[in-house]
Structure 1
């Protein structure tokens, strides 16, 4: 699924694909914000790890878990 993370005072956003479920990502971010951690980490499908500061978190957009259709819809 696609994840997009906006960081304050940054013109770009983090955008990557992850194999984690929506619930896992939501819990990871909520736990980091509730416990006042200074950052949280998420890894993508290719094995890269992203360390995101919670103080600069503007938004998190989590895509759907459905597979995309290819072709025309009639």
Structure 2
């Protein structure tokens, strides 16, 4: 699932492919914005962690899970 994170005072957004479900990402964002955690922590498909200070979040865009495309006919 593609997740886009807008950070205040940063010219570019952070884009990552996460293996987490939309509900897990939404729960992590909600906890960070509620002050339960000072950092938004997400894990990408390769196991790398992305940490963003909760007070610097501008927006989060959670994409639809996309099926993997396989073969020569997949464009």
Q: What is the aligned length?
A: 71
1:36 Cα offset (Å)? 4.7
TM-score with structure 1 setting the length: 0.84
Matches of 1:63 and 1:20 in 2, distance apart? 12
Q: Is 1:25 matched with 2:25?
A: yes
**Displaced runs of 4+ in structure 1, greater than 2 A?**
68-71
Gaps of 5+ in 1: none
Matches of 2:57 and 2:44 in 1, distance apart? 18
